[in-house]
Amino acid sequence: WFYNDATGKKDVPYYKVQTGQRFYLRNVELEILYTHGDTYPWGLVRFNTSSTVVRTTVYNGGAVGATVSGVNTAGSSTNALWLGDLEYRGSRVLRAMYGSYLKSDMAQVAHHAGSGSEGELYVLIDPKVMFVPASISGVKSNFAGSSRYADENREWLNGTDWEYIIVQDEYNVTLTVTAAGPQMAINQLKNTADTADEYGDDGEDGKTLQYGRFIITRSTIDAAVGESWKK
Protein backbone atom coordinates (compact mmCIF):
# COMPACT_ATOMS: atom_id res chain seq x y z
CA TRP A 1 0.00 0.00 0.00
CA PHE A 2 1.09 3.57 -0.75
CA TYR A 3 0.68 6.63 1.41
CA ASN A 4 -2.29 8.84 0.50
CA ASP A 5 -1.74 12.57 1.18
CA ALA A 6 -5.48 13.18 1.09
CA THR A 7 -6.31 10.72 3.87
CA GLY A 8 -3.01 10.59 5.74
CA LYS A 9 -3.04 6.80 5.50
CA LYS A 10 -1.45 4.03 3.47
CA ASP A 11 -4.67 3.17 1.69
CA VAL A 12 -3.67 3.31 -1.99
CA PRO A 13 -3.36 -0.27 -3.33
CA TYR A 14 -0.19 -1.32 -5.15
CA TYR A 15 -0.40 -3.88 -7.92
CA LYS A 16 2.67 -5.61 -9.35
CA VAL A 17 1.76 -6.12 -12.98
CA GLN A 18 2.50 -9.29 -14.90
CA THR A 19 2.70 -9.94 -18.62
CA GLY A 20 -0.71 -10.82 -20.05
CA GLN A 21 -2.73 -8.73 -17.63
CA ARG A 22 -5.21 -6.14 -18.87
CA PHE A 23 -6.54 -3.17 -16.95
CA TYR A 24 -9.50 -0.98 -17.88
CA LEU A 25 -10.32 2.64 -17.16
CA ARG A 26 -13.63 3.59 -18.77
CA ASN A 27 -13.02 3.19 -22.51
CA VAL A 28 -9.22 2.71 -22.21
CA GLU A 29 -7.52 -0.69 -22.07
CA LEU A 30 -3.97 -1.16 -20.79
CA GLU A 31 -2.40 -4.41 -21.97
CA ILE A 32 0.82 -5.52 -20.27
CA LEU A 33 3.04 -6.99 -22.98
CA TYR A 34 6.37 -7.26 -21.16
CA THR A 35 7.94 -7.06 -17.71
CA HIS A 36 11.57 -7.67 -16.82
CA GLY A 37 10.79 -11.22 -15.66
CA ASP A 38 10.26 -12.17 -19.30
CA THR A 39 14.02 -12.04 -19.92
CA TYR A 40 14.56 -15.15 -17.75
CA PRO A 41 16.91 -17.05 -17.80
CA TRP A 42 18.90 -14.02 -18.90
CA GLY A 43 19.81 -11.74 -16.07
CA LEU A 44 18.92 -8.06 -15.90
CA VAL A 45 22.24 -6.76 -17.24
CA ARG A 46 21.02 -3.21 -17.87
CA PHE A 47 18.44 -1.42 -15.75
CA ASN A 48 16.61 -0.01 -18.78
CA THR A 49 15.47 -3.50 -19.71
CA SER A 50 13.35 -3.48 -16.55
CA SER A 51 10.94 -1.17 -18.38
CA THR A 52 7.35 -2.40 -18.50
CA VAL A 53 5.94 -2.39 -22.04
CA VAL A 54 2.27 -1.40 -22.24
CA ARG A 55 -0.13 -1.05 -25.14
CA THR A 56 -3.01 1.36 -24.57
CA THR A 57 -6.15 1.05 -26.64
CA VAL A 58 -8.79 3.78 -26.65
CA TYR A 59 -12.22 2.57 -27.76
CA ASN A 60 -14.61 5.08 -29.26
CA GLY A 61 -17.54 5.37 -26.90
CA GLY A 62 -19.53 7.76 -29.05
CA ALA A 63 -23.09 7.25 -30.13
CA VAL A 64 -23.90 4.92 -32.97
CA GLY A 65 -23.58 6.84 -36.21
CA ALA A 66 -21.17 9.43 -34.76
CA THR A 67 -18.69 10.68 -37.35
CA VAL A 68 -15.32 12.45 -37.42
CA SER A 69 -14.52 14.15 -40.71
CA GLY A 70 -17.35 12.20 -42.28
CA VAL A 71 -16.10 8.79 -41.09
CA ASN A 72 -18.31 6.63 -38.88
CA THR A 73 -16.23 6.05 -35.73
CA ALA A 74 -18.69 4.10 -33.59
CA GLY A 75 -16.97 1.03 -32.15
CA SER A 76 -13.56 1.95 -33.60
CA SER A 77 -10.34 2.02 -31.60
CA THR A 78 -6.84 3.49 -31.66
CA ASN A 79 -3.83 1.99 -29.91
CA ALA A 80 -0.31 3.01 -28.94
CA LEU A 81 2.66 0.92 -27.82
CA TRP A 82 4.85 2.37 -25.04
CA LEU A 83 8.37 0.91 -24.84
CA GLY A 84 9.86 3.06 -22.08
CA ASP A 85 13.66 2.68 -22.08
CA LEU A 86 13.61 -0.92 -23.33
CA GLU A 87 16.93 -2.09 -24.79
CA TYR A 88 18.02 -4.93 -27.06
CA ARG A 89 17.46 -7.91 -24.78
CA GLY A 90 13.89 -6.90 -24.04
CA SER A 91 13.37 -6.07 -27.70
CA ARG A 92 14.36 -9.58 -28.73
CA VAL A 93 11.99 -11.06 -26.18
CA LEU A 94 9.10 -8.98 -27.52
CA ARG A 95 9.76 -10.04 -31.09
CA ALA A 96 9.97 -13.71 -30.10
CA MET A 97 6.81 -13.59 -27.97
CA TYR A 98 4.47 -11.65 -30.26
CA GLY A 99 5.71 -11.22 -33.82
CA SER A 100 3.09 -9.47 -35.96
CA TYR A 101 0.75 -9.12 -32.95
CA LEU A 102 2.84 -6.05 -32.05
CA LYS A 103 1.32 -4.08 -34.98
CA SER A 104 0.06 -0.78 -33.53
CA ASP A 105 -1.22 2.57 -34.76
CA MET A 106 1.31 4.57 -32.74
CA ALA A 107 4.51 3.82 -30.83
CA GLN A 108 7.02 5.51 -28.57
CA VAL A 109 10.64 5.15 -29.69
CA ALA A 110 12.56 3.49 -26.86
CA HIS A 111 15.16 5.29 -24.74
CA HIS A 112 15.00 8.68 -26.44
CA ALA A 113 15.92 7.05 -29.79
CA GLY A 114 19.38 6.16 -28.47
CA SER A 115 20.71 2.83 -27.15
CA GLY A 116 17.20 1.44 -27.35
CA SER A 117 15.34 -1.34 -29.14
CA GLU A 118 16.15 -3.01 -32.43
CA GLY A 119 15.08 -1.71 -35.79
CA GLU A 120 13.38 -5.07 -36.42
CA LEU A 121 11.04 -4.44 -33.49
CA TYR A 122 9.71 -1.21 -34.99
CA VAL A 123 9.25 -2.92 -38.35
CA LEU A 124 6.91 -5.38 -36.61
CA ILE A 125 5.05 -2.56 -34.84
CA ASP A 126 4.82 -0.62 -38.14
CA PRO A 127 3.12 2.47 -36.67
CA LYS A 128 1.78 5.50 -38.51
CA VAL A 129 2.83 7.87 -35.70
CA MET A 130 6.10 7.71 -33.74
CA PHE A 131 6.65 9.61 -30.48
CA VAL A 132 10.29 10.48 -29.72
CA PRO A 133 10.92 11.66 -26.13
CA ALA A 134 13.99 13.71 -27.04
CA SER A 135 14.90 17.15 -28.30
CA ILE A 136 15.25 17.80 -32.02
CA SER A 137 19.04 17.96 -31.60
CA GLY A 138 19.01 14.47 -30.09
CA VAL A 139 16.85 13.22 -32.94
CA LYS A 140 19.32 14.59 -35.50
CA SER A 141 22.27 12.76 -33.95
CA ASN A 142 20.40 9.50 -33.35
CA PHE A 143 18.61 9.40 -36.72
CA ALA A 144 21.26 10.59 -39.12
CA GLY A 145 24.53 10.22 -37.23
CA SER A 146 27.20 7.54 -37.48
CA SER A 147 26.40 5.73 -34.22
CA ARG A 148 24.96 2.22 -33.81
CA TYR A 149 21.73 3.87 -32.66
CA ALA A 150 21.43 5.73 -35.93
CA ASP A 151 21.77 2.46 -37.83
CA GLU A 152 18.92 0.92 -35.80
CA ASN A 153 16.73 4.00 -36.29
CA ARG A 154 17.40 4.11 -40.02
CA GLU A 155 16.10 0.55 -40.25
CA TRP A 156 12.62 1.50 -39.10
CA LEU A 157 12.69 4.90 -40.80
CA ASN A 158 13.09 3.06 -44.09
CA GLY A 159 11.24 -0.15 -43.22
CA THR A 160 7.88 1.09 -41.91
CA ASP A 161 5.02 3.15 -43.32
CA TRP A 162 5.30 5.92 -40.70
CA GLU A 163 3.59 9.19 -41.54
CA TYR A 164 4.42 11.45 -38.59
CA ILE A 165 7.27 11.62 -36.07
CA ILE A 166 6.43 13.80 -33.08
CA VAL A 167 9.40 15.15 -31.13
CA GLN A 168 9.21 16.87 -27.75
CA ASP A 169 10.28 20.48 -27.57
CA GLU A 170 12.73 21.93 -25.07
CA TYR A 171 10.18 23.37 -22.65
CA ASN A 172 6.72 21.89 -22.99
CA VAL A 173 6.70 18.13 -22.43
CA THR A 174 2.91 17.78 -22.43
CA LEU A 175 0.99 16.76 -25.54
CA THR A 176 -2.61 17.91 -25.31
CA VAL A 177 -5.25 16.01 -27.25
CA THR A 178 -8.79 17.40 -27.56
CA ALA A 179 -11.91 16.35 -29.41
CA ALA A 180 -10.64 18.48 -32.29
CA GLY A 181 -7.35 16.57 -32.36
CA PRO A 182 -3.86 17.00 -30.91
CA GLN A 183 -2.54 20.51 -30.31
CA MET A 184 0.77 20.54 -32.17
CA ALA A 185 2.73 23.03 -34.23
CA ILE A 186 5.88 23.03 -36.30
CA ASN A 187 8.75 25.34 -35.23
CA GLN A 188 7.26 26.11 -31.85
CA LEU A 189 9.59 28.83 -30.53
CA LYS A 190 8.70 32.34 -31.71
CA ASN A 191 11.57 34.00 -29.87
CA THR A 192 14.39 31.64 -28.94
CA ALA A 193 16.33 34.46 -27.24
CA ASP A 194 13.76 34.64 -24.44
CA THR A 195 13.90 32.38 -21.43
CA ALA A 196 10.55 30.76 -20.82
CA ASP A 197 9.15 29.41 -17.59
CA GLU A 198 7.07 26.24 -17.47
CA TYR A 199 3.95 28.15 -18.52
CA GLY A 200 5.50 29.58 -21.69
CA ASP A 201 5.60 33.19 -20.45
CA ASP A 202 9.00 34.87 -20.61
CA GLY A 203 8.25 36.83 -17.42
CA GLU A 204 9.64 40.13 -18.75
CA ASP A 205 7.33 41.82 -21.20
CA GLY A 206 4.24 39.66 -20.77
CA LYS A 207 4.63 38.16 -24.22
CA THR A 208 3.67 34.48 -24.45
CA LEU A 209 5.99 32.25 -26.41
CA GLN A 210 4.37 29.71 -28.70
CA TYR A 211 5.20 26.09 -28.00
CA GLY A 212 3.92 22.83 -29.37
CA ARG A 213 5.74 19.90 -30.90
CA PHE A 214 8.17 19.35 -33.70
CA ILE A 215 6.29 17.32 -36.30
CA ILE A 216 8.37 15.52 -38.89
CA THR A 217 6.74 14.15 -42.03
CA ARG A 218 8.22 12.30 -44.98
CA SER A 219 8.31 15.55 -46.91
CA THR A 220 10.15 17.44 -44.15
CA ILE A 221 12.50 14.83 -42.68
CA ASP A 222 15.47 15.73 -44.88
CA ALA A 223 15.38 19.31 -43.65
CA ALA A 224 14.77 18.23 -40.05
CA VAL A 225 17.48 15.63 -39.52
CA GLY A 226 19.61 15.51 -42.69
CA GLU A 227 19.52 13.13 -45.62
CA SER A 228 21.81 10.47 -44.11
CA TRP A 229 18.73 8.82 -42.52
CA LYS A 230 18.21 7.15 -45.89
CA LYS A 231 19.75 3.72 -46.25
CA distance 78 to 105: 6
Give pLDDT, residue 31. 97
Helix or strand holding residue 98 (H, E):
helix 88-98
Give pLDDT, residue 124. 95
Q: What is the DSSP letter of 127?
A: -
Residue 99, classed as helix, strand or coil, is: helix
Tens-binned pLDDT, residue by residue, of the chain (231 aa): 888 888 999 998 888 999 999 999 988 999 999 999 999 988 887 888 889 999 999 987 665 555 555 555 566 788 999 999 998 899 999 999 999 999 999 999 998 888 778 889 999 999 999 998 887 778 888 888 777 788 888 989 999 999 988 887 555 556 666 666 655 554 444 433 444 444 343 434 333 334 446 788 888 888 888 888 887
Q: Can you give the three-state secondary structure of 137-201, one letter per residue?
A: HHHHHHHHCCCHHHHHHHHHHHHCCCCEEEECCCCCCCCCEECCEECCCCCCCCCCCCCCCCCCE
Pairing of the two strands 53-59 and 28-34? antiparallel
Which regions of the chain does DSSP assign to beta strands (E)?
2-4, 9-12, 22-25, 28-34, 53-59, 67-68, 71-72, 77-82, 106-108, 129-132, 164-167, 177-178, 181-182, 214-217
Give pLDDT, residue 130. 92
In whole angstroms, what separates CA 163 from the centre of its chain? 14
